Amino acid sequence: MIDRETIEKRYGELGTRDFQLSINGRSYDLYEILRILGQGFEDIRPIDVCSATENLYAIRYCDLEDRHIVTIEFDQGFQLVAEHRTHLAEWMGEDEYQAFGWGAWCPWSI
């Protein structure tokens, strides 16, 4: 895991980057990038995307099931380079996280 400060130092404050990105001359939105990276699941909430370096990109999203902010670095061919996970309690603050009304859910009917 990597801490919030390190993530924001490298990629900017959460939610301040772009909602679409041009790669190899083609524009992609957040949902399309997540699908290509194999992360287009119902409990994934995209946040932003950016160029990390000249040939590397990063998308950030909230994984509601695991309760993490996830940053995935990928290259021009959408190959995974790195993945960083930071628990939501670090982003929200422990007190606010504990006081938040997290609903319990189950993917199967009982």
Residue 104's pLDDT band, with cuts at 50, 70 and 90, is low
Note the pLDDT tens digit of each residue in 27-70.
Answer: 999 999 999 999 999 889 999 999 988 889 999 999 988 889 99
With a CB cutoff of 8 Å and minimum separation 6, the contacts of 76 are 23, 24, 55, 57
Give me the residue label for tokens 């130092």: 9
Average pLDDT of the residues of the chain? 88
Residue 107's pLDDT band, with cuts at 50, 70 and 90, is low
* pLDDT score, position 68: 92
Q: Is the pLDDT of residue 110 over 50?
A: no
Handedness of CA 23, 78, 33, 55 (dihedral sign): negative
The one-letter code for the residue type at 81 is V
Residue 103's pLDDT band, with cuts at 50, 70 and 90, is low
Whole-prediction pTM value? 0.85
Domains assigned to the chain: 4-99 (3.10.450)
